[in-house]
Amino acid sequence: MSAPTGATGRTGAGVDIALQHEIEQFLYWEARLLDERRFEEWLDVLAEDLHYWMPIKSNRLYGDLDREVTRPGELAYFDEDKASMWRRLTRLQTGMAWAEDPPSRTRHLVTNITITELDHGIYQADSCFIVYRTRLERDEDTFVGGRTDRLRRTDREPGFELVARTILLDQAVLLAKNLSIFF
């Protein structure tokens, strides 16, 4: 089934179908970079003003659901910028990042992508994801959740850069031994 379109050829999210496709292809390509451990190429599509954030989710009663997810400035699994991402990637290459030696094998699945234009050349991509990770002989982790990405159109290939990523896991309790991978 295709996305709902009107006479303008726009999707239900309000962007042109060709732009929707272009951004989807960017997100799929980015997932492939991570799965193939092409981290230096991935770092090149991160904007200099990047904010990469994964707040913590907790179980709350209905009356307290507004506090289910930590807010900016509170505890988070990740609260990083491009410089800290570069340090993480550099550390992976030293052989001293024990949580990733031998490296994890990942599979990033990105789906249910909706695009909203925020400003000329700035887009918000909301999506669902599954990240499967296996390491060593028996370590397996599955992370499920939603992402909100802010993308900026650029003149450089592949045409967009990642300005912000908010990762919201569905799990309130993580059973993974570490969070040494990228989402």
pLDDT tens figures, 113-170: 999 999 999 999 999 999 999 999 999 999 999 999 999 999 999 999 999 999 999 9
Angle CA 111–152–43, to nearest 5: 75
| Domains identified in the chain and CATH numbers | 17-169 (3.10.450.50)
Q: What is the mean pLDDT of residues 92-107?
A: 89
CB 162 within 8 A of CB 23: no
pLDDT tens figures, 38-95: 999 999 999 999 999 999 998 888 988 888 899 999 999 999 999 999 999 999 888 8
Burial of 134 from C-beta contacts in 10 A (0-12 / 13-18 / 19+): middle
